[in-house]
């Protein structure tokens, strides 16, 4: 198969030079590098530059631009332009189809180059096999994602039918406009939507892993869809556990769902008959139809995660939520100095945000906090406590901080109570939500309405 079509490229160039306003139809579909012929790349670059300057981009103006930039000879001179315009009919009707085919052929060439490079990489003994494979998969994924055809600008009026359809579905409960976390106040104040990057921060022992895992478990439990074969199934939850082993994650899951205390499961001591029955019931209810996937590797990289996600989507179906525990120990986050690490964290945060769009689901990333907050009288976290806060804050849609007063104050009246401080929320409220922390069962839950909340100061205030 040939990965270029020069006649199509000539037709697109001739149409752009001959038809006023034609570039507006294809400028979001093809880039300069999509053309196979170098002379066509040059001419198209001139057309785009003239257009950007608000000038006509007909044959006379492009001729002048080529001469002014000493590019006439490189594009074949007057004879090439004249021959192309004389022998290639201009068309507006077929222009979009021609442009899309040029873009598609460009993708073929990019994929071919990657696969040729992959064969060379296989011969390189200095590279790990998984790095070779993951690098190729990530490159091929980017070929698709970076060259998607834009839908173009749309008027508000043209989107109103979909708006009312979505609203009616939400009102009926057919399709929720957010992912239910199982925490009523969180869903009310900071509803989490597909594509959101949600950061959960907290100092050690605050329970941020337990909190995020509880959210993921609740999301998976209630997130159904109908696949292309008509099967009604759950969307998958994917938990990248970089710090804990998968055994630890499963132990926490079993404790939270079975009401068997975590210390019994971990130690194997004092496990009673009722506990065994509860554990068996949990296996019965969740072993087959509960698609929560766990990947536990130290220093896992973004492209390793993408490979896993693509495999899960291919084998299982849609992904409903992604969780990473935690960002600062991901592969690629380490550097020789603080500046290098901050840059690496910034790139990782951008990639995690792309995951949300690529897999159409929320991404929950756990983050460390700076130790400096330990020296403050009020140890409730604030935005600047995030490690590498600028990079993370910029990309996050929602930022939540966990605080449990009992970690610092033995005699607190707020034992078993967790504060979730919503410090950033692009599409909702900021403030504080109180939850019940059931550490013995490794879970968070909604706080009983009867709890007297006056013992908890307003979020961000001095205690």
Tens digits of residue pLDDT in 200-213 = 999 888 999 999 99
**pLDDT of the residue at 462:** 39
Supply the mean pLDDT for the chain.
84
Residues linked to residue 339 through DSSP beta bridges, in sequence order: none
pLDDT band at 218 (very low <50, low <70, confident <90, very high): very high
Over range 172-194, report the average pLDDT.
83
Contact predicate 89/7, CB 8 Å? no
pLDDT at 457 over 60: no
**pLDDT of the residue at 450:** 47
Residue (of 114, 109, 90) closest to 33 by Cα position: 109
What percent of the chain is predicted at pLDDT more than 90? Answer: 36
Put residue 259 in one of left, alpha, beta given phi > 0 → left and psi -120 to 50 → alpha.
left
Instruction: Give the residue, 458 or 354, on which the prediction is more confident.
Output: 354
pLDDT band at 164 (very low <50, low <70, confident <90, very high): confident
Over range 294-318, report the average pLDDT.
85
Q: Which residues contact 400 (CB under 8 A, 6 or more apart)?
A: 190, 198, 199, 200, 201, 420, 421, 422, 423
pLDDT at 443 over 70: yes
Q: Which tens digit of pLDDT belongs to each residue from 387-423?
A: 766 778 888 999 999 999 999 888 888 888 999 999 9
pLDDT at 270 over 80: yes
**pLDDT of the residue at 287:** 77
pLDDT band at 50 (very low <50, low <70, confident <90, very high): very high
Over range 258-272, report the average pLDDT.
89
pLDDT band at 183 (very low <50, low <70, confident <90, very high): very high
Which three-class secondary structure state does DSSP give residue 318? coil
- The domains of the chain, with CATH numbers, are 6-145 (1.10.860.10), 175-455 (3.40.50.300)
pLDDT band at 128 (very low <50, low <70, confident <90, very high): confident
What percent of the chain is predicted at pLDDT more than 70? Answer: 87
**pLDDT of the residue at 240:** 93
pLDDT at 456 over 70: no
Q: Among 20-29, 93-102, 122-131, name the one with the lowest average pLDDT.
A: 122-131
Contact predicate 401/381, CB 8 Å? yes
pLDDT band at 154 (very low <50, low <70, confident <90, very high): low
**pLDDT of the residue at 132:** 80
Instruction: Give the residue, 34 or 154, on which the prediction is more confident.
Output: 34
Q: Among 256-270, 326-340, 379-393, 446-460, name the one with the lowest average pLDDT.
A: 446-460
Over range 55-82, report the average pLDDT.
90
**pLDDT of the residue at 308:** 87
pLDDT band at 244 (very low <50, low <70, confident <90, very high): confident
pLDDT at 190 over 70: yes
Give the C-alpha separation, 174 to 168, whole Å.
Answer: 9
**pLDDT of the residue at 458:** 45
Residues linked to residue 233 through DSSP beta bridges, in sequence order: 225
Q: Work out the widest C-alpha separation in the chain, in whole angstroms.
A: 91
**pLDDT of the residue at 157:** 65
Q: Write out the E strands in 341-460.
A: 363-367, 398-403, 417-425, 431-438, 443-446
pLDDT band at 454 (very low <50, low <70, confident <90, very high): very low
Give the C-alpha separation, 333 to 344, whole Å.
Answer: 5
């Amino acid at each position: 198969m040939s990965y270029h079509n020069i006649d199509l490229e000539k037709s697109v160039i001739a149409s752009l030079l001959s038809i006023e306003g034609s570039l507006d139809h294809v400028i979001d579909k093809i880039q300069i590098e999509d053309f196979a012929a170098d002379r066509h790349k040059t001419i198209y670059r001139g057309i785009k530059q003239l257009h950007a300057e608000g000038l006509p981009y007909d044959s006379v103006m492009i001729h002048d631009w080529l001469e002014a930039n000493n590019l006439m000879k490189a594009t074949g001179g007057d004879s090439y332009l004249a021959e192309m315009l004389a022998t290639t009919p201009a068309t507006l009707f077929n222009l979009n189809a021609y442009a899309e085919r040029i873009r598609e052929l460009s993708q073929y060439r990019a994929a071919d180059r990657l696969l040729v490079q992959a064969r060379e990489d296989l011969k390189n003994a200095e590279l790990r096999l998984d790095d070779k494979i993951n690098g190729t998969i990530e490159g091929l994924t980017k070929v698709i994602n970076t060259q998607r055809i834009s839908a173009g600008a749309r008027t508000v009026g043209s989107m109103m039918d979909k708006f009312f359809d979505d609203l009616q579905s939400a009102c009926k409960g057919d399709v929720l406009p957010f992912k239910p976390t199982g925490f009523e106040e969180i869903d009310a104040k900071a509803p989490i939507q597909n594509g959101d990057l949600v950061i959960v921060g907290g100092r050690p022992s605050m329970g941020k892993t337990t909190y995020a895992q509880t959210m993921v478990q609740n999301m998976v439990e209630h997130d159904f869809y109908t696949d292309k074969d008509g099967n009604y199934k759950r969307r998958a939850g994917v938990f990248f556990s970089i710090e804990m082993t998968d055994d630890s994650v499963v132990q926490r899951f079993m404790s939270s769902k079975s009401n068997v205390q975590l210390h019994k499961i971990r130690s194997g001591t004092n496990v009673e008959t009722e506990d065994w029955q509860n554990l068996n019931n949990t296996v019965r209810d969740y072993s087959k139809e509960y698609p929560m996937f766990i990947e536990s590797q130290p220093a896992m990289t973004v492209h390793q995660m993408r490979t896993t996600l693509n495999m899960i989507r291919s084998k299982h179906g849609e992904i409903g939520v992604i969780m990473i525990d935690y960002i600062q120990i991901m592969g690629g986050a380490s550097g020789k100095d603080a500046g290098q690490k901050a840059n690496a964290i910034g790139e990782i945060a951008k990639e995690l945000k792309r995951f949300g769009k690529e897999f159409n689901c929320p991404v929950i990333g756990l983050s460390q906090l700076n130790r400096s907050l330990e020296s403050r009288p009020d140890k409730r976290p604030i935005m600047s406590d995030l490690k590498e806060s600028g990079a993370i804050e910029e990309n996050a849609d929602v930022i939540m901080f966990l605080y449990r007063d009992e970690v610092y104050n033995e005699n607190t009246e707020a034992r078993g109570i967790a504060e979730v401080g919503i410090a950033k929320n692009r599409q909702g409220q900021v403030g504080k939500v109180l939850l019940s922390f059931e550490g013995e069962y490794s879970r968070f839950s909604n706080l009983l309405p009867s709890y007297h909340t006056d013992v908890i100061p307003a979020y961000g205030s001095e205690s």
